[in-house]
Amino acid sequence: MKRLLALTAVAALTLPFPPAVADAPGGQSPADAPGAPGLADSSGAQSGADAPGAQSAADSPGAQGAGDPYFPAQGNGGYDARHYDLALDYDPGTRVLKGTATISAHSTQTLTRFNLDLVRSLTVASVAVDGTKARFTRQADELVVTPAAAIAKGKAFRVVVAYRGKPTHLVDPDGSKEGWVRTPDGVFNANEPQGAKTWYPGNHHMTDKARYRFAVTVPNGRVAVANGELVSRNTTMGRTTYVWTAKEPMASYLTTVSIGAFKLTDTKVGGLRTIVAVDPAQAAAAKRLVRRHGPVLAYFSGLFGPYPFSVTGAIVDNAPEVGYALETQTRPIYPNNPDDALLAHELAHQWFGNAVTPERWQDIWLNEGFATYAEWLWADKRGATRLSAAFANAYGRPADDAFWKTPPADPGGAKKLFDDAVYSRGAMTLHALRKKVGDKVFFTILRTWVSDHKYGNAATADFVALSEKVSGEQLDAFFTAWLVKPVKPAL
Ligand code: TRP
Ligand code: ZN
């Protein structure tokens, strides 16, 4: 499901948005576009000593990053990961993770070597490509693989990485904890934007979606919860292996393998399989959680189109120090029992963020602005807060408030990824659009957005183009005022 970032850059030039891929300080041109050997060579991932045989004229390494201006090293070029089979064994007592990742991929260029994203603190025992042992080196958070023979362009190939270690979380530029966040009974595992590399190797930019199978072995008394459907649970010698499959394409920041002394329920709500894992400390509070999914999903399906996945649910952990929830695909993870607004927010992300995923991190308002607007819609529907009041409350910030200095379409870097403006001004943008084009056109735009890009990626420029197409109106000035200018838009 990979779409080259090059498409975004081209589209951006035709619209009033800054061509951010080219302009961003430290940004790179789309690194995995074929024919960018100079850039790929600059990875410095290999010393001459490592693979002298590969330093020929035919050297054709995959780029070390997908070229995202906010996280340049994230993701990799030269191939498209299609399926991950993650066989993991974790003991919360020793904190040791033993993993075997089997990655099925397609090459998009000749590959004499390629990279996977994986933190250096995990030890790699072996790498095989199509059953043959491959050489590998480590460079920062990159695992650099040199297969015994070059992989031709357009070929399916399979990589098996055996690794182990004691995973730890990382701290993002905005100060939040993510990745493998340990809890007293296991792990709270949330991976937006870059936590996936703390626990498995992969192509971790969101433009490379894939399907997944997780087989996770934990000691008795612990439960391992992942995305998708629970397909089996087998206990031998005091340990249980939980197998989960995620059938629909997923960006790796939306994966989760969370572990705890969870109570699992597996029921149907409105015909949809609903699997919920609850930490015992949250059990009383979360009692009604399963049933609260039905009305929210029914309402959103009516507005946005059918729920895009085959299963739903929640992971309700007891991890107050984390301080945020995440819309992990099919099964959002919460640090405690969610209130109605948060439940609606994370479920709305299943359409906006998960089914349709941004092409680069600066487009994050396409996730957060939409989920916040959906939160407002649900609060209005259930009679808690009128939509007009939610908008007025957000818009009421005085014009000289620093809030208005952050433009949602480019909040200014990794540090400001989850800035207030991304959420609140993003949601206001949608409400203002609705006022401008009318309810019928507005919801047609939202439904078409999901159906056009389901399981893929799209950028702000695509949303502007779609809005203009469906409404028949010229909306450049409107979107520039709401998304690009660092000043409060007039109504
Ligand atoms: N995507 C989360 C949401 O549903 C927010 C999120 C992820 C976040 N990581 C974060 C917010 C770190 C603050 C800090 O809104
Ligand atoms: Zn969100």
Q: Which of 40-49, 369-378, 416-425, 451-460 has the lowest mean pLDDT?
A: 40-49
State the first-to-last Cα distance of the chain, in angstroms, to the nearest integer.
39
Summarize pLDDT for 226-240 with one digit per residue, the tens: 999 999 999 999 999
Orientation of helix 5-13 relative to helix 460-471, angle to 10°:
50
Ligand 1 pocket check for 325: Cβ under 6 Å: yes
Give yes or no for residue 435 having a pLDDT over 80: yes
Give the Cα separation of 49 and 55 in Å (integer): 10
Ligand nearest to the CA of 176: 1
Give the Cα separation of 302 and 381 in Å (integer): 12
Buried (b) or exposed (e) across 171-194, using 16+ Cβ within 10 A? ebeeebbbbbbbbebbbbbbbbbb
Summarize pLDDT for 35-58 with one digit per residue, the tens: 333 333 333 333 333 444 444 558
Mutation probe of ligand 1 site: the residue of 171, 172, 176, 422 with most atoms within 8 A of C-beta: 176
Give yes or no for residue 33 having a pLDDT over 90: no
Query: Nearest C-alpha to atom 4 of ligand 1 is from which residue?
Result: 326
Mean pLDDT of 453-468: 98
Query: Nearest C-alpha to atom 9 of ligand 1 is from which residue?
Result: 192
Nearest in space to 371 (alpha carbons), one of 317, 430, 324 = 430
What confidence category does residue 462 fall into, taking pLDDT thresholds of 50, 70 and 90?
very high
Give yes or no for residue 309 having a pLDDT over 50: yes
The token duo for 403 is 């809030």
Tokens 């000749």 found at: 110
Q: Tell me, what's the pLDDT at 56?
A: 54
Ligand 1 pocket check for 327: Cβ under 6 Å: yes
Ligand 1 pocket check for 410: Cβ under 6 Å: no
Whether the CB-CB separation of 344 and 374 falls below 8 Å is answered with yes
Ligand 1 pocket check for 418: Cβ under 6 Å: yes
Ligand nearest to the CA of 366: 2
Sheet of 186-190: strand order equals 169-171, 177-183, 186-190, 257-260, 223-226
CA 468 – ligand 1 centroid, Å: 30
CA 260 – ligand 2 centroid, Å: 24
Give yes or no for residue 122 having a pLDDT over 70: yes
Atom of ligand 1 nearest to the CA of 332: 4
CA 38 – ligand 1 centroid, Å: 36
Atom of ligand 1 nearest to the CA of 178: 9
- What distances in angstroms separate CA 352 from CA 210, 308, 313, one per listed residue? 18, 10, 17
CB atoms within 10 A of CB 87: 18
Q: Tell me, what's the pLDDT at 57?
A: 52
CA 302 – ligand 1 centroid, Å: 26
Atom of ligand 1 nearest to the CA of 353: 1
Summarize pLDDT for 73-83 with one digit per residue, the tens: 999 999 999 99
Q: Tell me, what's the pLDDT at 277?
A: 98
Q: Tell me, what's the pLDDT at 29?
A: 36
∠ CA 23-25-31 to the nearest 5 degrees?
Answer: 75
Ligand 1 pocket check for 328: Cβ under 6 Å: no
Nearest in space to 331 (alpha carbons), one of 411, 425, 223 = 223
Query: Nearest C-alpha to atom 1 of ligand 1 is from which residue?
Result: 326
CA 109 – ligand 1 centroid, Å: 35
pTM of structure: 0.89
CA 80 – ligand 1 centroid, Å: 26
Q: Percent of the chain scored above 70 by pLDDT?
A: 88
Mean pLDDT of 294-300: 98
CA 326 – ligand 2 centroid, Å: 7
Which residues 6+ apart lie within 8 Å of 42 measured at CB?
A: none
Strand 123-129 vs strand 114-117: parallel, antiparallel, or unpaired?
A: unpaired
Give the Cα separation of 158 and 174 in Å (integer): 36
Mutation probe of ligand 1 site: the residue of 177, 191, 255, 324 with most atoms within 8 A of C-beta: 324
**Average pLDDT, whole number, for the chain?**
91
CA 344 – ligand 2 centroid, Å: 10
CA 349 – ligand 2 centroid, Å: 7
Write phi, then psi, for 202 (nearest 5 degrees): 180, -175
Using only C-alpha atoms, the chain has a radius of gyration, in whole angstroms, of 22
Summarize pLDDT for 346-386 with one digit per residue, the tens: 999 999 999 999 999 999 999 999 999 999 999 999 999 99
Whether the CB-CB separation of 411 and 367 falls below 8 Å is answered with no
Q: Tell me, what's the pLDDT at 9?
A: 36
CA 469 – ligand 1 centroid, Å: 31
Give yes or no for residue 106 having a pLDDT over 50: yes
Ligand 1 pocket check for 414: Cβ under 6 Å: no
